[in-house]
């Protein structure tokens, strides 16, 4: 097939243990008044915030803190932060936290220079204004290994008024600097480590199998899948294992590059309405849906799914392509089970009568990128399997 691919990356990627020490010099290069965006309290308690502000002061950079970002940032979260950034004349945003915090910081960096509410720019059918002005610079510092937001052109924002979780998207939204320091993830609790890793794996696999897949992201996705295969369970069971944390931080970064340039698939499409209506953590719903979505896609993507088995370290030499692809699905279930991801989607209160509403909320770019076309009946079947409500 003759496809034209496009590949965007952050302005600069800094990766490695201790990389946080470079934040002062990077900030100095990009601005002199920073809005620091933070989650609830982990970064304060761990002393990482103190280290960050010390590095800023050392470089004569002023800052204002915008904190307590919720786990699913809303339009109001972004609009409030934007007002603060404007009031304080911030010319740089630094977000330190998980995917939600990074998405918030990224959205604020865009809204500071663009009019109206972030809701006006969300990808909602028939709506969605285009950004008119370039964002102010943004430095993304992830403290989880999951969303890959440090390397993406989009930010996912919950629109409570419309009951939707939708992206804003533009290459301008790419961070000027993605600063990935795996040491910042050492204190992440086991279950968060597991579900963030589940998100990263789902992102890599959906981008790899998706219609917009391309050579560059295929290579990155397979490498990231290999890293996750060898290190997710270790990172969950031995939180202090820096090698495992490094692998997971790199895999998450690569998963961001993959999804940003090659899109996602049905697991992500269904995860968004599940997050809005039942507050299921994003990575968890992705992980619980992934094996079923892979099984569904298997007839049209057998060869590629077989390669996933290989990337996960399985010996497939004596297997047929279909058997090898089935092995990949089994291996992923095994990895998630060892990482203690054992919940069932039905435990979150999903009922059969809600299926049509979930499917309605799943429509959009991710679903269109799924390699196999999904009918209403297919999606219902996927939900039956993932919820065990059959
Ligand atoms: Zn995701």
Q: What is the pLDDT of residues 183-214, one digit of tens each?
A: 999 999 999 999 999 999 999 999 999 999 99
DSSP classification of residue 210? S
CB 146 within 8 A of CB 99: yes
CA of 282 relative to ligand 1 center, distance in Å:
7
CA of 2 relative to ligand 1 center, distance in Å:
28
CB 253 within 8 A of CB 178: yes
Residue where the block lists tokens 């010390």: 54
Q: What is the pLDDT of residues 232-244, one digit of tens each?
A: 999 999 999 999 9
CA of 285 relative to ligand 1 center, distance in Å:
9
CA of 379 relative to ligand 1 center, distance in Å:
19
CA of 264 relative to ligand 1 center, distance in Å:
8
User: Positive or negative CA dihedral for 30, 34, 40, 46?
Assistant: positive
CA of 198 relative to ligand 1 center, distance in Å:
9
pLDDT of residue 45: 85
Kindly report the backbone phi and psi dihedral angles of residue 369, in degrees, each rounded to the nearest multiple of 5, phi listed first. -85, -10
Check pLDDT > 90 for residue 28: yes
CA of 255 relative to ligand 1 center, distance in Å:
9
CA of 53 relative to ligand 1 center, distance in Å:
30
Q: How far, rounded to the nearest angstrom, does the alpha carbon of residue 374 sit from its chain's CA centroid?
A: 23
pLDDT of residue 65: 96
Kindly report the backbone phi and psi dihedral angles of residue 211, in degrees, each rounded to the nearest multiple of 5, phi listed first. -65, -30
CA of 342 relative to ligand 1 center, distance in Å:
19
User: Which residues fall inside 5 Å of ion ligand 1, going by CB?
Assistant: 199
Range of lowest pLDDT (39-48, 100-109, 266-275, 276-285): 39-48
The mean pLDDT of the chain is 95
**pLDDT-based confidence at 1, cuts 50/70/90?**
low
CA of 304 relative to ligand 1 center, distance in Å:
20
The rounded distance, in Å, linking the Cα atoms of 234 and 240 is: 10
Contacts of 1 (CB under 8 A, 6+ apart): none
CA of 279 relative to ligand 1 center, distance in Å:
14
Check pLDDT > 90 for residue 4: no
Burial class, 148, CB count within 10 angstroms (exposed 0-12 / middle 13-18 / buried 19+): buried
Can you name the residues that pair with 96 across neighbouring β-strands? 38, 141
CA of 126 relative to ligand 1 center, distance in Å:
24
CB 174 within 8 A of CB 152: yes
CB 297 within 8 A of CB 265: yes
The rounded distance, in Å, linking the Cα atoms of 291 and 309 is: 13
Enclosing H/E stretch for 196: helix 190-209
Strand 154-159 to strand 164-169: parallel, antiparallel, or no bridges (unpaired)? Answer: antiparallel
CB 34 within 8 A of CB 95: no
CA of 156 relative to ligand 1 center, distance in Å:
10
CB 374 within 8 A of CB 367: yes
CA of 69 relative to ligand 1 center, distance in Å:
18
Burial letters 64-98, b for 16+ CB under 10 A, else e: eebbebeebbbbbbbbebbebbeeeebebbbbbbb
Q: What is the pLDDT of residues 35-60, one digit of tens each?
A: 999 998 788 888 999 999 999 999 99
DSSP classification of residue 281? -
Angle (nearest 5°) at CA 199 between 195 and 202: 130
Enclosing H/E stretch for 293: helix 282-297
Q: Starting at the edge strand that comes first in sequence, how are the strands of the sheet with 62-66 ordered?
A: 12-15, 177-180, 138-142, 92-97, 33-38, 62-66
DSSP classification of residue 95? E
CA of 134 relative to ligand 1 center, distance in Å:
25
CB 217 within 8 A of CB 261: yes
Residue where the block lists tokens 């992980």: 287
pLDDT of residue 343: 82
CA of 340 relative to ligand 1 center, distance in Å:
19
**pLDDT-based confidence at 389, cuts 50/70/90?**
confident
CA of 120 relative to ligand 1 center, distance in Å:
23
Instruction: Give the three-class secondary structure for 373.
Output: coil
* Size of the chain in residues: 390
CA of 195 relative to ligand 1 center, distance in Å:
10
pLDDT of residue 44: 84
CA of 129 relative to ligand 1 center, distance in Å:
24
pLDDT of residue 46: 87
Q: What is the mean pLDDT of residues 326-331?
A: 98
């Amino acid at each position: 097939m003759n496809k034209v691919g496009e590949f965007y990356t952050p302005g600069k990627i800094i990766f490695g243990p201790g990389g946080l020490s470079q934040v002062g010099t990077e900030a100095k290069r990009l601005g002199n008044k920073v809005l620091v965006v933070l989650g609830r309290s982990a970064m304060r308690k761990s002393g990482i915030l103190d280290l960050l502000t010390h590095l800023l002061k050392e470089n004569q950079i002023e800052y204002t803190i915008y904190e307590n970002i919720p786990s699913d940032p809303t339009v109001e979260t972004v609009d409030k932060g934007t007002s603060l950034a404007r009031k304080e004349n911030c010319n740089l945003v630094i977000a330190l936290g998980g995917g939600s915090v990074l998405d918030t910081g990224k959205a604020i960096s865009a809204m500071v220079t663009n009019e109206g509410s972030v809701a006006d720019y969300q990808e909602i059918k028939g709506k969605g204004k285009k950004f008119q002005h370039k964002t102010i610079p943004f430095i993304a510092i992830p403290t989880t290994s999951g969303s890959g937001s440090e390397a993406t052109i989009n930010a996912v924002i919950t629109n409570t008024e419309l009951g939707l979780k939708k992206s804003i998207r533009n290459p301008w939204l790419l961070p000027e600097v993605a600063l990935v320091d795996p040491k910042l993830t050492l204190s992440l609790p086991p279950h968060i480590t597991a579900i963030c890793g589940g998100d990263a794996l789902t992102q890599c696999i959906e981008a790899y199998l998706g219609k917009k897949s391309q050579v560059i992201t295929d290579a990155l996705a397979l490498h990231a899948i290999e890293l996750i295969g060898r290190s997710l369970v270790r990172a969950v069971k031995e939180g202090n294992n820096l090698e495992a944390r490094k692998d997971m931080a790199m895999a998450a970064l690569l998963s961001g590059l993959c999804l940003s340039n090659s899109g996602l698939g049905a697991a992500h499409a269904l995860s968004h309405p599940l997050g809005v209506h039942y507050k299921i953590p994003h990575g968890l719903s992705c992980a619980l849906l992934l094996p079923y979505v892979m099984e569904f896609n298997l007839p049209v993507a057998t060869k590629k799914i077989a390669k996933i088995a290989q990337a996960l370290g399985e010996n497939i030499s004596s297997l047929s392509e279909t058997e090898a692809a089935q092995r990949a699905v089994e291996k992923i279930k095994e990895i998630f089970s060892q990482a203690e991801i054992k919940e069932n989607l039905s435990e979150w209160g999903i009922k059969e009568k809600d299926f049509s509403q979930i499917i309605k909320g799943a429509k959009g770019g991710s679903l269109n990128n799924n390699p196999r076309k999904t009918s209403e009946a297919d999606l219902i079947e996927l939900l039956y399997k993932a919820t065990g409500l059959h």
